């Protein structure tokens, strides 16, 4: 009996933890069980051909909102060419409506509901002996009937679940490894399907430490914990993090935490963590207390703010903060206040997402109460509700897109800071609203833009909207651009300043002995021409260090030369210096 488990991932860099768990749990009795991973962006015919060549008797798919439609199309076509193939679906997207799914899709044979390891193993045993229709946690097609067996209890001892990467990670080089040290969540947020399972279960702590050391030793690039709340137990999470610090390698660990649960001891420990070791994802969602109560979420904003700002002071951890648009009881003005409060914490990454009405979630069950209208197709995104109209939701989607273009890459950091703090007086939501209006009026949302072109567009926006600030914005956009691109040609619309005999003065500056000692003493002796290829001199008309907030008081000069240095073949500046010509 040949068993193949398949996942259609959102991107190549992603991997599937679920099918690896099933393979590891069933391998002892079914050693030939195989896994294959593809992406939703691959040619469906090629994916189908790859699966067909495996000649499976049983084909299992891991189903989520991002892949369910592609999975169903693939399963339907495979059944046409392999009518005796037994197709099994599992995962959160099929767990909560398995009866309807089987009724509507006659090519699906079985659905595994909920936690899958024990259920899938029993299912394989049953299928191997010609049965399996009574396995708990499954929904079956039997001719014209659908059999919905009773639910299966959760695995009490997670120590019995094998390590899903025991066979190695060589084939996953350069990709994200997904891992969990616990299952479940201490919270009961109504928009999350984790709320359908009460309580938290833990994998044995010493096992977790051993497995994480394995990832470091294997040189894994990034491990993303899928624990819903990594710091649900502060002492345990701190011990895991200390293990990772003590066994520091080149691996980055992504942790989803609740920031207002970070106690003082943990915050003090985080001050000592090496740069680049941890990425912290913090779900704020909203600062509106009524909205949070409506979704059964608690948050101490003052404590969260303190934690985020304390971590930020060390510049050693990447902080990713989340907001959700479309929560019950939060209207457009309220969301704008939430946006301002979170944006002004200056996270490294700010994710603005629309509420998803996930199957099995309480907020979906209560949709009528709050007047929700949402898409019938995955990801079941909110179109409008009693508090936000469709036009307002679309405006927030545009702001989400602009955050992804301008804020989150970090390439416009100094320009955006000036625009928000100086021009818009600390009201970032108003800035992004105006930018969204400009984007739509110019029909810029209808075309793709190269990143370099975004500098030109932001300059055009500032010149039209705030001409009195255009000069300062021009200088800051030049500064941001040269920090990110080694280019002697600036984007269209950015003005350049030249001083008399600039090239001659620059050559004299490079030839001075004190210049060598100050700026490139770490380099071996080079011919002047080779050295210049690593350097770029830009003269600014205004004090960009003051405008960007790097300097508390403005220095008055007739011009402001800055020297940027780049590695050979690199595009980002590795350093910049003020110079005297």
pLDDT in tens, 222-235: 999 999 999 999 99
CA distance 407 to 413: 7
Q: Is the pLDDT of residue 120 over 90?
A: yes
DSSP code, position 444: G
Ranges for all domains in the chain classified under CATH 3.80.30.20: 162-387
Q: State whether residue 322 is helix, strand or coil.
A: strand
- Residue linked to tokens 């956009």: 477
Q: Report pLDDT digits (tens) over 237-246.
A: 999 999 999 9
CA distance 490 to 469: 20
**E strands within 365-499?**
373-374, 382-384
Would you say 558 and 544 are in contact if contact means Cβ atoms under 8 Å apart? no
Instruction: Spell out the residues 6+ positions from residue 467 whose beta carbon is closer than 8 angstroms to its own.
Output: none
| Sign (positive or negative) of CA dihedral 5, 8, 10, 11 | positive
- For 41, the token pair is 């962006």
Q: Give residue 524's pLDDT band: very low, low, confident or very high (50, 70, 90).
A: low
Q: Which residues of 184-204 are buried (b: 16+ CB within 10 A; e: fewer)?
A: bbebebbbbbbbeeeebebbe
Cα separations in angstroms, 180 against 90, 200, 225, 404: 19, 12, 5, 28
Q: Report pLDDT digits (tens) over 448-459.
A: 999 999 999 999
Q: Is the pLDDT of residue 522 over 80?
A: no
Highest mean pLDDT among 320-329, 485-494, 520-529: 320-329
Return the H-helix or E-strand segment holding 34.
strand 34-39
CA distance 525 to 542: 34
Q: What is the 3-state secondary structure (H, E, C) of 108-134?
A: CCEEECCCCHHHHHHHHHHHHCCCCCC
**E strands within 236-366?**
252-257, 278-285, 318-325, 349-354
In this structure, the chain runs to a length of 581
Q: Is the pTM of this model over 0.85?
A: yes
**pLDDT at site 506:** 86
- Residue linked to tokens 């810029």: 444
| Sign (positive or negative) of CA dihedral 570, 571, 577, 581 | positive
Q: Report pLDDT digits (tens) over 237-277.
A: 999 999 999 999 999 999 999 999 999 999 999 999 999 99
Cα separations in angstroms, 201 against 138, 186, 236, 562: 23, 10, 13, 55
- 216, burial (CB in 10 Å: exposed 0-12, middle 13-18, buried 19+): middle
**pLDDT at site 339:** 98
Ranges for all domains in the chain classified under CATH 3.40.50.2300: 3-148
Q: Which of 12, 14, 32, 10 is nearest to 23 (CA)?
A: 32
- For 79, the token pair is 């059944």
CA distance 481 to 489: 10
Would you say 61 and 7 are in contact if contact means Cβ atoms under 8 Å apart? yes
Distance of CA 565 to the CA centre of its chain: 31
CA distance 309 to 287: 16
**pLDDT at site 45:** 97
Cα separations in angstroms, 167 against 17, 172, 201: 14, 12, 25
CA distance 385 to 331: 9
Q: Which of 218, 282, 284, 216 is nearest to 253 (CA)?
A: 216
- For 61, the token pair is 């798919």
CA distance 581 to 574: 21
Cα separations in angstroms, 99 against 109, 137, 374, 380: 11, 12, 22, 19
- For 458, the token pair is 């932001």
- Residue linked to tokens 């380099």: 523
**pLDDT at site 581:** 81
CA distance 391 to 499: 50
Q: Which of 418, 423, 283, 298 is nearest to 353 (CA)?
A: 283
Would you say 79 and 49 are in contact if contact means Cβ atoms under 8 Å apart? no
410-421: average pLDDT? 97
Q: State whether residue 574 is helix, strand or coil.
A: strand
Q: Report pLDDT digits (tens) over 381-390.
A: 999 999 999 9
Q: How are beta strands 222-225 and 252-257 bridged, if at all?
A: parallel
- For 474, the token pair is 């021009």
Q: By mean pLDDT, which of 192-206, 261-275, 398-412 is the weakest?
A: 192-206
What are all long-range contacts of 402-405, with beta carbons under 8 Å and residues at least 24 apart?
402/432, 402/435, 402/436, 402/439, 403/350, 403/351, 403/352, 403/432, 405/449, 405/454
Instruction: Spell out the residues 6+ positions from residue 434 whose beta carbon is closer than 8 angstroms to its own.
Output: 461, 465
* Average predicted confidence (pLDDT) for the chain: 94
118-132: average pLDDT? 95
**pLDDT at site 521:** 67
Q: Which CATH code for domain 162-387?
A: 3.80.30.20
Class of the domain covering 3-148 = alpha beta
CA distance 50 to 44: 10
């Amino acid at each position: 009996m040949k068993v193949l488990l398949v996942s259609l991932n959102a991107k190549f860099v992603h991997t599937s933890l679920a099918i690896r768990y099933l393979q590891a749990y069933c391998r002892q009795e079914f050693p030939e069980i195989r896994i294959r991973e593809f992406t939703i962006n691959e040619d469906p015919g090629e994916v189908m051909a790859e699966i067909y060549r495996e000649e499976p008797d049983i084909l299992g798919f891991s189903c989520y909102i991002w892949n369910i439609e592609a999975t169903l199309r693939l399963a339907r076509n495979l059944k046409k060419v392999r009518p005796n193939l037994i197709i099994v679906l599992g995962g959160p997207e099929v767990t909560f409506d398995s009866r309807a799914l089987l009724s509507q899709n006659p090519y699906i044979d079985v659905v595994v509901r909920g936690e899958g390891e024990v259920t899938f193993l029993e299912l394989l045993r049953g299928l191997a002996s010609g049965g399996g229709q009574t396995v708990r946690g499954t929904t079956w097609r039997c001719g014209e009937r659908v059999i919905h067996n009773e639910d299966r209890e959760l695995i009490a001892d997670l120590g019995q679940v094998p390590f899903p990467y025991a066979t190695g990670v060589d084939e996953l080089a350069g990709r994200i490894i997904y891992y969990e040290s616990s299952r479940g969540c201490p919270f009961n947020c109504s928009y999350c399907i984790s709320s359908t399972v009460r309580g938290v279960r833990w994998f044995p702590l010493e096992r977790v430490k051993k497995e994480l050391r394995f990832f470091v030793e294997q040189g894994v690039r990034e491990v993303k914990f899928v624990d819903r709340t990594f710091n649900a137990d502060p002492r345990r999470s701190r011990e895991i993090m200390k293990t990772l610090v003590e066994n520091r390698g080149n691996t980055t660990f992504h942790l989803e935490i609740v920031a207002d649960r970070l106690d003082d001891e943990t915050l003090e420990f985080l001050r000592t963590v090496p740069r680049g070791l941890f990425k912290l994802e913090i779900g704020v969602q909203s600062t509106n207390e009524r909205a949070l109560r409506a979704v059964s979420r608690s948050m101490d904003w003052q404590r969260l703010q303190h934690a985020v700002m304390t971590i930020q002071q060390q510049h050693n951890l990447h902080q990713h903060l989340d907001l959700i648009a479309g929560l019950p009881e939060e209207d457009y003005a309220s969301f704008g206040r939430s946006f301002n409060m979170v944006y002004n914490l200056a996270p490294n990454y700010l994710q603005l997402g629309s509420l998803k009405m996930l199957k099995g979630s309480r907020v979906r069950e209560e949709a009528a109460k709050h007047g929700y209208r949402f898409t019938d197709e995955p990801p079941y995104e909110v179109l409008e509700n009693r508090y936000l109209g469709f036009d307002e939701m679309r405006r927030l989607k545009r702001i989400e897109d602009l955050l992804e273009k301008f804020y989150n890459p970090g390439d416009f950091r100094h320009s955006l800071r000036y625009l928000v703090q100086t021009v818009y007086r600390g009201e970032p939501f108003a800035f992004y609203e105006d930018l969204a209006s400009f984007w739509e009026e110019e029909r810029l949302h209808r075309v793709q833009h190269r990143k370099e072109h975004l500098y030109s567009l932001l300059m055009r926006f500032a010149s039209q909207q705030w001409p009195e600030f255009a000069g300062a914005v021009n200088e800051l956009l030049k500064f941001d651009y040269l920090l990110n691109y080694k280019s002697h040609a600036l984007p269209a619309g950015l003005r350049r300043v030249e001083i008399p005999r600039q090239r001659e003065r620059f050559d004299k500056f490079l030839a001075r002995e004190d210049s060598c000692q100050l700026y490139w003493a770490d380099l071996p002796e080079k011919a002047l021409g080779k050295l210049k290829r690593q350097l770029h001199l830009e003269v600014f008309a205004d004090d960009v260090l003051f405008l960007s907030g790097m300097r508390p008081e403005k220095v008055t000069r007739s011009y402001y030369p800055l020297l940027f240095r780049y590695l050979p073949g690199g595009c980002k500046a590795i350093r910049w210096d003020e110079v005297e010509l």
